Structure 1
Amino acid sequence: MVNILVISDTIVRPESYENARDRVKIHLTPWDLSFLRTEYAQRALIFPKPDPETRMISRLKSSLSAALKIFYPYAGRLVKMDNEDDETRTFFIDCDGSGVKLVHAEAVSVLVSDVLEQANGTNVPNYWSEFFPANGVKSWEGVSKSLIAFQVTELKDGVFIGFGYNHLVTDGASVWSFFKTWTEIFSTGRKKFPPLSLCGWFLGGIDYPIRVPMSETVPSSPVAGPVALSLQKKIFRFTSRHVSELKAKANGEAVGSDDNLVISSFQAVLAHMWRSIIRNSDLNPEDVIHCKLAMDIRQRLNPPVQKECFGNMVGLATTTTTAGEMLSNGLGWTALQLNKTVGSQTNEELRRFAENWVKNPKIPNLLVVNNSLIVAGSPRFNVFGNDFGWGKPIAVRGGPGIAGHGKILAYPGTEKGSTEIHTSLWSHVLDKLLADGEFLQHVHVVCV
């Protein structure tokens, strides 16, 4: 039995918060509102243990306060307003300085190796969720809950920093930018940073705040227990050599489709994962399959918004085919379909999506969906560049939440050029995948 002791649960507010009359109101876009029913995304970084003289917790609080002065939207709250005239609701972020949750806990009997081995394995330990601060919290609960929350758990030989964030206000790119700033303030004392640039993009002619039918804002039903029990998690690591081999193979097989075409490393790795999962899913050839890739749209708008702007600028690019068509073609064909889908996310297409969504707002339920891969994260995120000064992260991990079959998290590995793929799959699919020689040929380590 693992004893996780909560030492403190506090709210950290921005340093030197300005007068209330200077508060910023952030209106939400169709991409933001699409996340209204989702749970907070939860992630974690695991660090070596600092020297006792570091005064870790007090300095984490003070540096977090300074970071929140820069990234002030995190310290705000979601505001919901009912429009009785047409039975709709509107939402916006009020940057009111309410602050963020920071939990300090201890699990002195747990080693870093224990956490990594158990979290990598088929059976996630029953105490895993206790390392995270936002379990089961939905985005719409940001009216009273912290928009980002942290838990610092001291292990026997390391530090586990788990966090959860509201996707209505931020995406992964902004979260990791914030984390980098926090670590720099902690390690160097530097507090002078460029002012935050908000994305805040809206189509001309769209009235905001956007009105969403009340029926679309009703909380969705939870996933049934037996469904969750039949899902298992596993992490696959692709070395830089295997990433290079897959990229070369995919581009070689796609030769002739477009002389200027370059299939990226991630598209090649993702194509290999998708084909392998489908090959082991016992689907009929005519079954329709999807790969839904969350992608940054900042530089795809015209004019583009600032590359480093703060907000949630995630679009969902969906590739659709059939199981038979995919498996009758090779890696290059699958990677090419992903490449084409990513390329199709143009300014015109994104504007069309926004215009149509505003006319008929639909907020999807986060349910387990067969035959679909849903891919989040990115190998480009600089997760291992976050150093508080007592050592770089040992590992990055995804937290608990509604996990459906085909949920994929992608992150860089510790080796330069490598990629980690965190998966949630039906147990029978995972068992077959782990015995698939064609798949394992391009995976250096399967965590067990």
Structure 2
Amino acid sequence: MAGGVVLVSSSIIQPVNSNQSGRTKIHLTPYDLSLLQFDYAQRGLLFPKPDPDFNLISRLKTSLSLALDIYFPFAGRLVKTENLEDETVSFYIDCDGSGARFLHAEAESVSVSDFLQPDGSVPDFTKHFFPADDFKSVDGVTVPLLVIQVTEMKDGVFISYCYNHMVADGVSVWGFFHTWSMICSTGSGFNHKPLVLKGWFLEGIDYPIHIPVSESERPPPSREVLSSVPITKEWIFHFTEENISDLKAKANSEVDSSDDLGIVSSLQAVSAHMWRSIIRHSCVCREQETYCKLVVDLRQRVTPPLEKDSFGNMVYITSATATVEELLDRGLGWAALQINKLVRSQTNENCKSFAEDWVRNVKNVKSGLGSRVDGDTIVIASSPRFEVYNKDFGWGKPIAVRAGPSNSISGKLNLFTGINEGSIDVQANLWSDVITNLLADVEFLEHVTTA
């Protein structure tokens, strides 16, 4: 490792119940398979340092084994099968109990104050506090579906993870993280209800789905494209409860009262403010189209609806579109309303159409650069609805949350609940010049703080 981070040990943690007779085989839907080339998602929580007699690593490993017994898909492996009859391949998750990887690392020279910069900047060294920044979902055939890294610092501990997005989404992984923390803090496997798998499969589609071999192979990196991309920086923008209230009020005051779509939400107002502000400084011509990509949870949008905390991947990436001229000239309310309309349009019929179209014309989501080097797109990931500050492993609650470097392209925004009630933190990955301009933009900073 680097950045002052030294790897102490690496081990595989298996579920405490090693008997995998009758183990589950999970078929993958079009929503899952569209993420074959997607990087493993990375998140992490910063904690104060526990007392030496807490036996940190031992307790974390023991409780992880118990948590994996409940969240058993994370201990499985991706299986790839060749379909000789039509020269395609298929994938499924074999819940065989192979286990998750656990990395123990140390960064003795790094303090919490180094990690949490007062100006809101995210130090470059933090990327080394996350595991596996180069795994893609398709790699789950040979690598664990979940990797944990625990980094002991001078006066803190950073617990991070990366996971295969075909197996789970934010709802599922934060649910797992909460269960793990509860087991660690109580010292036993508490009465947790059995895991409910998402159980959503489109009628009329045969499983396992057959996909072209070309879509299942990891593409080589494009050095030519990478070398021409400007440098990006990560920054934390903090929206207080008052900031958010003001933005929401401003957006709704600008929305036509005759519109029957309802009130613009706090999250939509914040997203619209970020979208307009970033595009204003991205040097995109006024006639060009710009996109706000959202990750939408479909559990309550399909018919019949799924349980809100059902385990699996049930998210879909969709886009609000506007020309730069429309976005900048029509105001915050208009931009927020485009996001409002997009979210409301995600219905059971949309879900079915996406799945059916994908099977007819397999198209995977490619992580990385693509057209986004044009600076015309923002991608809003994670959610401030996820509870992250209640994850107490037994020595205190988290003091910060961070996203790792995977899937990071200019315009990527990870939204988290803030540590203060009612607030939202936006971890933005943007071109350096865009960050510089935002920090000097009075209109943008009117509703944001970086301290």
Judge same fold: TM > 0.5, yes or no: yes
Give distance in 2, aligned partners of 1:227 and 1:182: 42
CA 1:232–1:16 in structure 2 vs 1: closer, same or farther (change >3 Å)?
Answer: same
Task: Give a deviation string over 1:46-73, Cα, whole Å, max 9, x none.
Answer: 0001111111111101100000000000
Shift of 1:85: 2.3
Give, in angstroms, the shift of residue 441 of structure 1.
0.4
C-alpha displacement at 1:321, in angstroms? 1.1
Deviations 1:389-448 (A, max 9, x none): 2111010011122421111100011011100111111222222111111001000x225x
- Verify: 1:428 aligned to 2:433, yes or no: yes
Give SS of 2:409's match. coil
Partner deviation per Cα, 1:344-378 (whole Å, 9 max, x = no partner): 00011111111111111111322321311111100
Q: Which moved more, 1:398-407 or 1:241-250?
A: 398-407
Answer yes or no: is the 8 Å Cα contact 1:268–1:335 preserved in 2: yes
Displacement of 1:259: 4.6
Aligned match of 2:71: 71
Please name the residue that 1:379 is paired with: 384
Offset at 1:200?
A: 2.5
SS of alignment partner, residue 299 of structure 1: coil
Hey, what does 1:199 align to over in structure 2? 198
Deviations 1:234-290 (A, max 9, x none): 110000100111111111111424256111110000000000111111221110111
The amino acid across from 1:276 in the alignment is: S
Task: Report the AA paired with residue 335 of structure 1.
Answer: A
Q: Tell me if structure 1 keeps the 8 A contact 2:27–2:91.
A: yes
What is residue 143 of structure 1 aligned with on the other side? 141
**Secondary structure of the residue that 1:267 maps to in structure 2?**
helix
Q: What is the aligned partner in structure 1 of residue 217 from structure 2?
A: 218
Q: Say whether the 8 Å CA contact 1:223–1:402 is kept in structure 2.
A: no
Residue 205 of structure 1 aligns to a residue whose secondary structure is coil
**Whole-angstrom CA distance in 1 between matches of 2:27 and 2:177:** 24
Q: What CA distance in whole angstroms lies between the structure 1 residues aligned with 2:153 and 2:368? A: 34
Residues 155-200 of structure 1, C-alpha deviations (whole Å, 9 max, x = no match): 0101011211110100011000000000111111342210000003
- 2 CA distance for matches of 1:339 and 1:257? 15
SS at structure 1 position matched to 2:350: helix
Q: Report if the CA contact (8 A) 2:280-2:328 is conserved.
A: yes
**SS at the partner of 2:389?**
helix
Shift of 1:37: 0.3
Query: Which amino acid in 1 is paired with 2:79?
Result: V
Alpha carbons of 1:222 and 1:5: their partners in 2 closer, same or farther (altered >3 Å)? same
**Unmatched runs of 5 consecutive residues or more in structure 1:** none
Q: Is the 8 A contact 2:232 2:429 kept in 1?
A: yes
Displacement of 1:2 after TM fit? 5.3
The one-character-per-residue Cα deviations of 1:56-113 (angstroms, maximum 9, x if unpaired) are: 1111011000000000000000001122222211000000000000011111111011
Q: Does 1:90 align with 2:90?
A: yes
| Correspondent of 1:179 among 177, 185, 188 | 177
User: Counterpart in 2 of 1:406?
Assistant: 411
TM-score (norm 1): 0.96
In structure 2, relative to structure 1, the CA distance for the partners of 1:228 and 1:74 (3 Å cut) is: farther
Distance 2:260 2:301 in 1: 23
Q: How many residues align?
A: 443
Query: Against the structure 1 CA distance between its residues 226 and 235, is the aligned structure 2 distance closer, same or farther, given a 3 Å change threshold?
Result: farther
Query: Residue 166 of structure 2 is aligned with which of 145, 165, 168?
Result: 168
Q: Judge conservation of contact 1:2–1:109 (CA < 8 Å) in 2.
A: no
For residues 229 and 56 of structure 1, do their structure 2 counterparts lie closer, same or farther at Cα, with a shift above 3 Å needed?
Answer: farther
Provide the residue aligned with 2:46 in structure 1: 46
